[in-house]
Amino acid sequence: MPDQNGKKIVFSGVQPSGNLTIGNYLGAIKNFSRFSDEYKTFYCVVDLHSITVRQVPAELRRRTYETLALYMACGLDEKKNTLFVQSHVPAHAELGWILDCYTMFGELSRMTQFKDKSAKNAENINAGLFTYPSLMAADILLYQTDVVPVGIDQKQHLELARDVAMRFNQIYSDTFTVPEGYIPTETMKIMSLSDPTSKMSKSDPNQNSVVYILDSKDDVMRKFKRAVTDSDSTIRYSEDKPGVSNLMTIYRAFTGKSFEEIEREFDGKGYGDFKMAVGEACADGLAPVRDEFARLIADKAHLEAVMKAGAEEAAFYARKTLSKVKRKIGFVV
């Protein structure tokens, strides 16, 4: 649904649950800025989602600042985008509870991320871990979002948000915009450097599997040097070559070259040369982000001002939707 200036609305969020990876950068954050001129954009640090897993309070606070600074360092201008922290807009939690009551138990039990996280956190399978897709639906629907830039691993949650929106609209008449997903095909999924059959994850205990946005150039080069490739020595994009194909995907994302151009560039060259080239392209691509992050994180007052202004603007939009929902379901408002 267009905002008051006639622009369609984009929403996305990132958890402040650890240093973000090049998978987060290439699959999501790098693409966010392309929406800034054409759309009304809301980008959120989703701290409410992060507490489904136990957090150290001081670390969660620090990472909330860092995630906001990373948003900005990756090209999100606070004058063009609404940047805010989820818990600063209480309407997220309030609509989350309401949508819990319109989300079916069976739908939530089919969420693959619940199964995965339950397996990893067997001692803390809490209710929030089960119902957080309803909160994610609230995050999106609260802003009458048209487009959600989303990683392929979150597609199931977006489908649930669409189902809940359509269910609510069917019961109470049109209330929510039914959002569409935007998944960039060229960087759909960045895989682990040590196990290219698994997604690169910031929580991976093997630090050589993961390249973080804020890694030093030396760390980036060392990790790519150790990256798993394949048994033969041909640099070719193919399903039966997951290690090399993952490196080619990363190289393509940082250089803009096609897979065919990459294959020609490294024709007759070995994996060692290729891995060094991927490392160089990645480190050089991240250098401006690291420099800008260092500048921003040193100015806590500015980050707090951005948080405050973003929360005020987000709350204005959120209140309109929440008020409509409350009236529809029969609350006295």
Active site residues: 117, 199, 202
Structure tokens at 58: 């001081």
Calculate helix-pair angle for 112-120, 155-172, nearest 10 degrees: 130
Burial class (CB in 10 A: 0-12, 13-18, 19+), 173: exposed
Half-sphere exposure of 95 (CA within 13 A, CB side): 34
The residues with which 40 forms a beta bridge, in sequence order, are 9
b/e map 43-55, b = 16+ CB within 10 Å: bbbbbbbbbbbee
The amino acid that residue 251 corresponds to is Y
Residue for token pair 């991976």: 204
